[in-house]
């Protein structure tokens, strides 16, 4: 018994074997408590339906906080002042934050994007001067695939700091086409041709009702605006098919296009 007591009292400076064993036991208990506490945390994240990327980050942060508290408890048990430990960690944290300031900005903006959810993976967006389909949203950057199949990794700070246009958030999109016809065409005939072009275009919707109206007078031509609605997935098909059908309807109805012209008046000799 005395031998065991001597072993426990053996010290290096102020640190004894007994204190080390006590600290190990406390750390094991803290580890068990942390594992138990993570269960309710997981249930809360499930209830809030947090994005998987953000969920993993929050889980890691919470674990780090719990483990930091455990380290403080263990340090206190072996006689290390917590105030000194906090001061050292504070200085270390400041140095690290200054060295990775840009990454921290992207991280903070990534968290905001995952919380506010202006877009999700699979959406077609325009942001930071890039237009394409969102492939993946990470904590530091967003991966966008352009229409010509280029992978572009955009820092989250650039996306969150600018205007974001989400073309996929609504089920319907409006297709706007502006065309011109010469002044020598009858307005009713042009509108009839454009209405026929709309009717011949597949995947256009009747509700909301298509819009075909004269919308302006230009230097060489009369301008007409066509607005039709389509499902988001059919937008580009409707757009290009409508352009082709307008050309066919113009030809079928004898509508002349807008051709710049000049009238020259010659005055005879006096």
- The closest alpha carbon to 110, from 146, 65, 143, belongs to 143
**Contact, 240 vs 201, CB < 8 A?**
no
Q: pTM (2 decimals)?
A: 0.64
pLDDT at 97: 60
Please list, in sequence order, all residues whose beta carbon lies within 8 angstroms of the beta carbon of residue 122, skipping any fewer than 6 positions away. Answer: 133, 134, 168
pLDDT at 2: 52
What letter does residue 255 receive in the DSSP assignment? -
Strand pairing report for 211-217 and 222-231: antiparallel
Give dist(CA 200, CA 266) in Å, integer: 47
pLDDT at 268: 63
Whether the CA torsion 110, 135, 132, 197 is positive or negative: it is negative
Give dist(CA 210, CA 227) in Å, integer: 6
Give dist(CA 124, CA 147) in Å, integer: 10
Give dist(CA 43, CA 50) in Å, integer: 11
Please list, in sequence order, all residues whose beta carbon lies within 8 angstroms of the beta carbon of residue 222, skipping any fewer than 6 positions away. Answer: 180, 181, 182, 183, 185, 187, 190, 214, 216, 258
Question: Which stretches of the chain are DSSP H helices?
Answer: 2-9, 17-48, 52-77, 82-99, 101-116, 156-160, 187-200, 235-253
State yes or no: cis peptide before 208, omega within 30 of 0. Answer: yes
Instruction: Tell me the mean pLDDT per 10 residues along the chain, length 270.
Output: 51 58 80 84 78 75 82 76 68 61 78 87 91 90 92 91 90 95 93 96 94 92 96 93 96 85 65
- The closest alpha carbon to 123, from 179, 183, 165, belongs to 165
pLDDT at 85: 62
pLDDT at 10: 46
């Amino acid at each position: 018994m005395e031998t065991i007591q001597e072993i426990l009292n053996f010290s290096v400076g102020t640190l004894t074997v007994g204190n080390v064993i006590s600290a190990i036991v406390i750390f094991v208990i803290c580890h068990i408590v942390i594992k138990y506490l993570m269960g309710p945390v997981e249930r809360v994240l499930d209830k809030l339906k947090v994005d998987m990327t953000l969920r993993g980050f929050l889980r890691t942060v919470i674990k780090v906080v719990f483990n930091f508290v455990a380290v403080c408890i263990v340090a206190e048990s072996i006689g290390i002042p917590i105030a000194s430990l906090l001061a050292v960690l504070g200085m270390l944290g400041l140095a690290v934050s200054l060295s990775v300031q840009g990454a921290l900005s992207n991280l903070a903006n990534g968290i905001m994007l995952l919380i506010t959810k202006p877009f999700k993976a699979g959406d077609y967006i325009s942001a930071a001067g890039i237009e394409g389909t969102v492939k993946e949203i990470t904590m530091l950057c967003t991966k966008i695939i352009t229409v010509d199949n280029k992978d572009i990794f955009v820092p989250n700070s650039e996306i969150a700091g600018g205007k974001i246009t989400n073309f996929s958030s609504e089920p319907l999109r409006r297709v706007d086409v502006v065309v011109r016809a010469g002044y020598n065409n009858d307005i009713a005939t042009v509108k009839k041709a454009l209405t026929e072009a709309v009717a011949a275009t597949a995947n256009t919707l009747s509700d909301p009702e298509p819009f075909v109206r004269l919308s302006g007078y230009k230097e060489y031509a009369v301008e007409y605006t066509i607005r039709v609605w389509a499902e988001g997935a059919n937008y580009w098909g409707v757009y290009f098919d409508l352009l082709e059908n307008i050309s066919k309807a113009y030809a079928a109805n004898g509508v002349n296009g807008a051709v710049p012209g000049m009238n020259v008046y010659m005055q005879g000799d006096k």
